[in-house]
């Protein structure tokens, strides 16, 4: 029986570190459109949906996407797990590919490889970032709907609700998992966009590679960086997963209040 695989790309305008980053122009197009241009080339998915919030601040994003004919789902701003769960229900997903709107260098081939491993192993959860061996910004997570539903029902911590997958990842006794690893550790490369320096870095990559091949891949970027190593210094000092670390602090506050 065929399985419905839905890629859900979470995005919002009200990002705290670089507000409106998804709408920043990258070679004349909003960054989110450049990312979707790449992720529309994932051959193994049935549908790509952008999941954003119901907040008024995200109205410009929704208008942009609808004008481009891109599927949009609106849900909770902070409870992103709830947003994913309801989007998955709407589109009858058997498996959900989690993508985030700060990855304009996302590589369709790497996403496809992760999805294929998920399906071939039959695990509840598959990623390429626990542990990470790919550059930060090429992250992809895939989960069975049944596992996502269980997380939605029982997850309580702020980090589990905001970051979607921690409830599943942190319970290996309940959920089976697998990881896609590259043959060498490239995790020190930072290709995500959280700060202005990140955007400047990505902009340089696009200026060099986009005209040669609109869907340039990880190897193309690595080859360019080998020839221009100083580019890596633009954003090298920024901490990986800073947003998740902030959520873990909120977890401590939540547990402290709960135990009072």
Q: 69 — alpha (psi -120 to 50), left (phi > 0) or beta?
A: left
Structural domains in the chain?
Answer: 5-258 (3.90.550.10)
Q: What is the pLDDT of residues 172-204, one digit of tens each?
A: 999 999 999 999 999 999 999 999 999 999 999
| pTM listed for this prediction | 0.92
The length of the chain is: 260
The Cα–Cα gap between 214 and 223 comes to 16
For the chain, residues with pLDDT lower than 70 are 1, 240-260
Distance CA 174, CA 109 (A): 30
- Residue 173's Cβ-count burial label (10 Å; 0-12, 13-18, 19+) is exposed
Q: How far apart are CA 153 and CA 194, in angstroms?
A: 30
- List, for residues 76-94, the tens digit of each pLDDT value: 999 999 999 999 999 999 9
């Amino acid at each position: 029986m065929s399985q419905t695989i839905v890629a859900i790309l979470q995005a919002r305008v009200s990002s705290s570190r670089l507000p409106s980053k998804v709408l920043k122009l990258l070679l004349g197009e909003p960054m989110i459109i450049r990312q979707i241009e790449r992720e529309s080339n994932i051959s193994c998915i049935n549908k790509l949906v952008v999941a954003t919030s119901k907040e008024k601040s995200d109205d410009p994003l929704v208008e942009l996407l609808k004008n481009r004919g891109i599927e949009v789902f609106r849900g909770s701003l902070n409870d992103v797990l709830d947003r994913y769960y309801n989007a998955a229900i709407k589109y009858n997903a058997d498996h959900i590919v989690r993508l985030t709107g700060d990855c304009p260098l996302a590589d369709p081939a790497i996403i496809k490889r992760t999805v294929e491993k998920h399906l071939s192993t039959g695990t509840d959860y598959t990623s390429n970032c626990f542990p990470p061996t790919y550059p930060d910004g090429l992250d992809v997570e895939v989960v069975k709907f049944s596992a996502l539903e269980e997380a939605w029902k029982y997850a309580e911590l702020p980090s589990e609700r905001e970051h979607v997958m921690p409830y599943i990842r942190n319970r290996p006794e309940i959920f089976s998992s697998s990881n896609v690893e590259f043959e060498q550790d490239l995790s020190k490369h930072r290709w995500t966009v959280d700060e202005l320096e990140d955007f400047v870095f990505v902009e340089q990559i696009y200026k060099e590679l986009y005209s040669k091949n609109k869907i340039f891949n990880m190897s193309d970027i690595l080859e360019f960086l080998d020839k221009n190593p100083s580019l890596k210094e633009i954003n090298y000092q920024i901490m990986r997963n800073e947003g998740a670390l902030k959520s873990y602090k909120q977890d401590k506050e939540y547990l402290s209040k709960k135990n009072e």
